[in-house]
Structure 1
């Protein structure tokens, strides 16, 4: 759980993650939603864009994972727990890079945050046991929360997994193997179960029942409302009266 301080109405901006399997339409719908917003957001690129567009520590770690995975589209190199910890380190680096922006009250939108790491690695660790995968995903999110605060709001875009696979193959001009397609279906199902277990943080856009226009409007509304009544947040490993990471005010800590 993310440690949140009692001091109300911190001046920080919200940290929002957009999640979902590849091909589900996250980028397209997010862009449509941003066109509806009258305020500017800082966008953090998701993993797929990091190795070619950045030269920082996070991108260097990601290149190591990509090299070890030998071209696997899901960065699977055969050491899922070690990979999970590296991916969490990348997401901590991402947060460090935007702390000044959050402190100034700007909203930050990250493509694929710690939720993707937890869900994908849990599905990889328990390919034949959905309940064990759910428990592991929850445990990995708790572990991620000891590295850095979890997002204030997580927006999951979901759809029929086979449709997402088709979109991803057309977009990337590739054909997934049967094993890769099975993995994507498992991740898609697990994402929905994780979201259902944490309704306070998650908002879900299900493209099986919602059209593009309505989906973009929902995302826009959730992004807009995410900045209301934000509390202060301390570093997960610090005890009270540790200062807020963003506004610097100390307070007695409670757990959200």
Structure 2
């Protein structure tokens, strides 16, 4: 078991901004620094949460109401927290997650009918945990959307909402970053991957040390 305190880092941003790539790069760097790393994602990250993930990312955009989406995301997040995140942090590991509660705050709370109060109440009741550091990858929604749809992953439900929805999401993430500057850092994701990674590592190094 590590003697260093656990550290919880999340990546946020619109679809196609490169979160998964940068999460892996940060994880590789942290391991090279001698830390045990758990790379995970939301929705998902645990067996039960991965089952719920399929309900959320597949199907038509109007499959669920904003309220139902929020309940499903929160259920997946609770299982993820219990089975993966908390145990890893207790063991002194660095947990790096591709999305966490901020995505629900923005996707359902800001872009799906102003459900922020509902989202925040559920979070307080069922989750009650914030990351130590959140890296928000920011880029042009039109470019990110084209990249996301080009993947043809079969998990395109949110990309299929279209450009206007992605623009709302970007505004939501930037507003969230402005409201919590102690935790959130905005990273320009329109550059080459290695340039983005350099900024990501420089920002995370402060927390790790």
CA contact (8 A) 2:24 2:39 kept: no
Which of 121, 124, 130 is 1:145 aligned to?
Answer: 124
Residue of structure 1 equivalent to 2:51: 60
- Give the stretch that moved more between structures: 162-171 or 213-222: 213-222
* Greater share of residues in helix: 2
Cα 1:150–1:139 shift into 2, 3 Å: farther
Displacement of 1:198 after TM fit?
A: 0.8
Displacement of 1:139 after TM fit?
A: 6.5
CA contact (8 A) 1:13 1:227 kept: no
Cα 1:156–1:138 shift into 2, 3 Å: farther
Q: Which has the larger radius of gyration?
A: 1
- Give the stretch that moved more between structures: 84-93 or 35-44: 35-44
Displacement of 1:44 after TM fit?
A: 1.1
Q: Looking at both structures, which has the greater relative contact order when contacts are Cα pairs under 8 Å and sequence separation is at least 6? A: 1
Residue of structure 1 equivalent to 2:37: 41
Count matched residues.
199
CA contact (8 A) 1:24 1:164 kept: yes
Matches within 5 A, 1:181-192: 181-192=163-174
Gaps of 5+ in 1: 1-9, 127-132, 229-256
The whole-number CA distance in structure 2 between the counterparts of 1:28 and 1:221 is 16
* TM-score between both structures, scaled by the size of structure 2: 0.81
Matches within 5 A, 1:79-228: 79-98=65-84, 99-126=86-113, 133=114, 136-137=115-116, 140-141=119-120, 143-148=122-127, 149-172=129-152, 179-208=161-190, 210-227=191-208
RMSD over equivalenced CA pairs, Å:
2.8
Residue of structure 2 equivalent to 1:70: 59
* TM-score between both structures, scaled by the size of structure 1: 0.67
CA contact (8 A) 1:161 1:188 kept: yes
Displacement of 1:142 after TM fit?
A: 5.7
Q: Which runs of 4+ in 1 moved over 6 A?
A: none
Displacement of 1:202 after TM fit?
A: 0.3
CA contact (8 A) 1:84 1:118 kept: no
Displacement of 1:212 after TM fit?
A: 2.8
The whole-number CA distance in structure 1 between the counterparts of 2:54 and 2:25 is 30
